[in-house]
Amino acid sequence: MSDARRQLGNRGEELAAQALQAAGLRVVERNWRCAVGELDLIAEEQAFDFVAGAIATWRVLVEVRTRRGDNFGTAQQSITPRKAAKLREVGLTYIQSIEWKGPWRIDVVAIQMDGRGHLLEINHIRSAVTG
């Protein structure tokens, strides 16, 4: 990975962490890696769990997608079915590794910048990857 791409990714992860915190989530881990892949951010949120019928602590696994310009599609469009399947696999590996018994979900934070790297939009998509 080039230095410019790595810098863009690091900047995107920092912006995503700030956006999550502003939305009331607490980032508990960054860049969790295993043999299957990586999770960019892991957060917790107090929210209603419809299965339990009460407020619960959710583990939120977050994929950060940062795009400069839209020549190759937007940040949101970069979550392909193949990428979603990979996120489900890595997410399940993480949940099993920590023996999490509570509710969890996979969110995406899509960060769109212009060609010069100026922030245009941050979009936090809850439960972006399901199934």
Contact of 41 with 21, CB cutoff 8 Å = no
Q: What is the CATH classification number for the domain harbouring 56?
A: 3.40.1350.10
Cα pseudo-dihedral 9, 3, 118, 87, rounded to 10: -20
Q: Could you give the percent of the chain with pLDDT greater than 90?
A: 72
> Could you tell me the end-to-end alpha-carbon distance of the chain, in angstroms, rounded to an integer?
30
- Condensed to tens digits (0 to 9), the pLDDT of residues 50-100 reads 988 999 999 999 999 988 877 666 667 778 889 999 999 999 999 999 999
Domain that holds residue 113: 3-129
Contact by Cβ (8 Å): 49, 68:
no
Confidence tier at 39 by pLDDT (50, 70, 90): very high
What digits encode the pLDDT tens for the residues 96-117?
999 999 999 999 999 998 888 8
Domain count for the chain: 1
Is the confidence at residue 38, as pLDDT, over 90?
A: yes
Contact 103, 49 (CB under 8 A): yes
- For 1-24, what is each residue's pLDDT tens digit? 677 778 888 899 999 999 999 999
